[in-house]
Amino acid sequence: MKRRVLLAGLITIFLSACASATPVPTATPTVPLLPTSVPTFTPTSVPARVDLRVVAGVVNCRFGPGTVFELINELSEGQSARVVGRNDASTWWYVRDPGNPNGFCWVSALVTAVEGEVEALPVIRPPVVTVTKATLRAEPDRIVVGCNQFPQTIFLEAEITTNGPTYVTWKWEASTGVSSEQTVLVFEEAGPQVINDYYQIGAPNEYWIKLHIFSPNEIIKQVNFPVSCTP
C-alpha cells in the first residue's frame, strides 16, 4: 500500500529585508538501519538457457525482487521471457524485459513456470534505490499586500518519489541564508510521499525556498516568490 506521510514539523522562519530568525529544528525520527544496497549486476552471459512463462493473468515486472519496488512493466498470461538471474531464495527471477530489449526487471516465481537449470543462474543483488522525482510548489507564489499587513504566510508542498524502500535525507533552505535541520523521511515501498510546511514573511522582498535532498541521491528543487506591498 502506498501511503503519503506528512513528515515535517512546522518551521517558522521570519524573513525580512534586514534580519532573519533561526528556524525551529525538525525532529529526526529514529529508524533502524537498512541493509547497504549493492548495484544490480547486469549479466553478460548465462551458463544455461532458462526461460519462464507467465501462468497467472497479468503479472508485474519490477525494479527489484519484491512488491515494494517500482513497477517497470507487465507480462500477460502465456508470455515468455529469458531468465538471466535470481535472488538468493530463488523466489524472484531477473529477466530480460520483453518491452525493452536493453532492459531488465524482476518477476515473482509464484506466478511463473520456468524451464532450464535454475541452479546455474547467478544470484543478482537488489538494486540501489534512488529518488526518481521531486517537485516543490509554493502557495501563493506571489504576494501583494498593504505594507501594514505583515507577516504573510507562504505554504509549501514537496512531493518526493522513490523506486523502492529507502531513507531520504532532506532539509529546507531559504534565500536569507537560514535553513532547517536535516530530516529523515522513511520510504517502506516505492512511490511518492508529501511534505507540507509553511513560512511567514515579515517584509517585502524577492524570496526563494529550496528543497535540498542529500541521500540516497542529491536533488535540489527551488521555488521563487516575490513579495511586495502598497502603502
Tell me the per-residue pLDDT of 123-180, one tens digit each, with 9 for 90 and over.
999 999 999 999 999 999 999 999 999 999 999 999 999 999 999 999 999 998 889 9
CA atoms within 13 Å, Cβ hemisphere of 39: 3
Domains of the chain plus CATH, in order, are 14-34+129-230 (2.60.40.10), 50-120 (2.30.30.40)
Task: Give the model's pLDDT for residue 176.
Answer: 87
If you count DSSP H runs as helices and E runs as strands, how many of each does the chain have, helices first?
A: 0, 16
Q: Give the tens place of pLDDT for each residue, 4-62.
A: 333 333 233 333 333 333 333 444 444 433 444 444 455 555 457 999 999 989 999 99
Long-range pairs, 5-9, Cβ under 8 A, ≥24: 5/185, 5/186, 5/193, 5/194, 6/194, 6/195, 6/196, 7/183, 7/185, 7/186, 7/193, 7/195, 8/183, 8/195, 8/196, 8/197
Contact by Cβ (8 Å): 198, 26? no
Task: Give the model's pLDDT for residue 47.
Answer: 56
Q: Give the tens place of pLDDT for each residue, 84-131.
A: 999 999 999 999 999 898 999 999 999 999 999 999 999 999 999 999
Residue 47: is the preceding peptide bond cis (ω within 30°)? no
Residue 35: is the preceding peptide bond cis (ω within 30°)? no
pTM: 0.78
Q: At 163, list the grid cell.
A: 523506486
Q: For the purposes of burial, counting CB atoms within 10 Å of the CB of 159, is it exposed (0-12), middle (13-18) or buried (19 or more)? A: middle
Task: Give the model's pLDDT for residue 68.
Answer: 98
Query: How many CB atoms lie under 10 A from the CB of residue 7?
Result: 20
Greatest CA separation found in the chain? 81
Residue 216: is the preceding peptide bond cis (ω within 30°)? yes
Among 192, 183, 191, CA closest to 212: 183
